[in-house]
């Protein structure tokens, strides 16, 4: 029986894939499988993965005929996974040797739906430890209790899918798949749904994932139209949270996070292509009008003046039918 399935999407990462695969080799076990998803790469990544399929114990290669983005690639891996537990890794990141056996032992000992871990962010030669925003470690908790408070960083603000491990029963409950087609912020609706609907989770102080930041091919570094998918992603968060029995309590956090991300993008709008910058302003103005206005007013009153002023000016813009949705 496969105990752990590791899902690793790759797209045009020929420079980094060998290090990623080498770190997977240092985490093999006879009951582990590694699902390598080639999301229609057009550099040398397919050849690198073909060799890995032959040489990496437990490797399963999945090829996409067309590029679908990270969410779709992860879903393909989930659909092929046979493990009792699942985890993720991105094709340009890497692991410490022996990390996955320790991660598996953590969730088996705790017996919860999912476990979240700290990680090391790597920017050029700099290394920074980023921790799950949950003070209680190694204790099984109710996930929705870790969504709030609204005015502090909480577990839903730490959305990295690869910073954790997940029991298979979450697939059966419809909680582990990502929203098909989202090209950025795909992990935001996902982490919110996990915390609203799963029964149990824990945070552990286990380091072993090395997250490579500042990769030139990463969508976080590219100012094209795909970046605007954050609007679709957060619209989904708002819509689903509004249907929750505790919507009155949870929506201020969702709206505040949406506004913070929107203000962030607007504050660095010069990195976008001019046409995309215009779309960002128009789509953001429309999104602000869709939000529950009473909650939005309270959120803006509590934000720092610069960001709040930026959003208020945008909210006053007229919106036409073509820009009503992203």
Region at 280 (left for phi over 0; alpha for psi -120 to 50; beta for the rest): alpha
pLDDT in tens, 180-231: 989 999 999 999 999 999 999 999 999 999 999 876 544 444 567 888 999 9
What pLDDT score does 235 carry?
98
Residue 141 per-residue DSSP state: B
What pLDDT score does 221 carry?
46
> Cis peptide leading into 149, omega within 30 of 0?
yes
What pLDDT score does 322 carry?
54
pLDDT in tens, 92-136: 999 999 999 999 999 999 999 999 999 999 998 999 999 999 999
What pLDDT score does 225 carry?
85
* Tokens at 179, concatenated: 């929203």
Question: What whole-number distance in Å separates Cα of residue 322 and Cα of residue 85?
Answer: 43
From 315, 214, 227, 218, select the one nearest 269 (Cα to Cα): 227
What pLDDT score does 158 carry?
98
Average pLDDT, stretch 136-144?
98
Going from N- to C-terminal start, the domains of the chain cover: 4-218, 223-323
Give bridge partners of residue 85 from the DSSP assignment: 4, 167
CATH code: domain 4-218 is 3.90.550.10
What pLDDT score does 154 carry?
98
* Residues 6 or more apart whose Cβ sits within 8 Å of residue 266: 280, 281, 284, 310, 311, 314
pLDDT band at 49 (very low <50, low <70, confident <90, very high): very high
């Amino acid at each position: 029986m496969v105990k752990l399935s590791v899902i690793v999407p790759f797209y045009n990462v020929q420079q980094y894939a060998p290090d990623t695969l080498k770190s997977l080799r240092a985490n093999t076990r006879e009951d582990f499988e590694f699902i390598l998803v080639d999301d229609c790469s057009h550099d040398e990544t397919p050849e690198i993965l073909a060799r890995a399929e032959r040489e990496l114990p437990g490797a399963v290669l999945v090829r996409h005929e067309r590029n679908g983005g990270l969410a779709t690639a992860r879903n393909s891996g989930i659909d092929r996974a046979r493990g009792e537990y699942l985890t993720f890794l991105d094709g340009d990141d890497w692991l410490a040797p022996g990390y996955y056996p320790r991660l598996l032992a953590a969730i088996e000992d705790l017996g919860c739906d999912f476990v979240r871990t700290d990680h090391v962010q790597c920017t050029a030669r700099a290394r920074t430890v980023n921790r799950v925003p949950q003070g209680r470690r190694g204790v099984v908790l109710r996930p929705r209790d870790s969504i709030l408070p609204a005015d502090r960083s909480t577990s839903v603000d730490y959305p990295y899918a690869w910073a954790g491990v997940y029991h298979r029963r979450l697939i059966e409950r419809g909680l582990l798949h990502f929203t098909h087609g989202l090209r950025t912020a795909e992990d935001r609706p996902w982490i919110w749904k996990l915390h609203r609907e799963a029964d149990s989770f824990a945070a552990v102080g286990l380091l072993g994932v090395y997250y490579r930041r500042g990769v030139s091919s990463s969508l976080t570094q590219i100012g094209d139209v795909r970046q605007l998918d954050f609007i679709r992603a957060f619209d989904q968060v708002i819509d689903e949270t509004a249907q929750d029995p505790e919507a009155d309590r949870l929506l201020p956090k969702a709206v505040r996070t949406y506004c913070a991300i929107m203000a962030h993008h607007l504050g660095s709008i010069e990195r976008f292509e001019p046409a995309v910058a215009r779309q960002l302003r128009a789509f953001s103005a429309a999104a602000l009008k869709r939000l529950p206005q009473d909650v939005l007013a309270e959120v803006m009153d509590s934000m720092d003046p610069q960001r709040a002023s930026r959003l208020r000016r945008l909210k006053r813009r007229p919106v036409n039918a073509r820009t009503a949705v992203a």
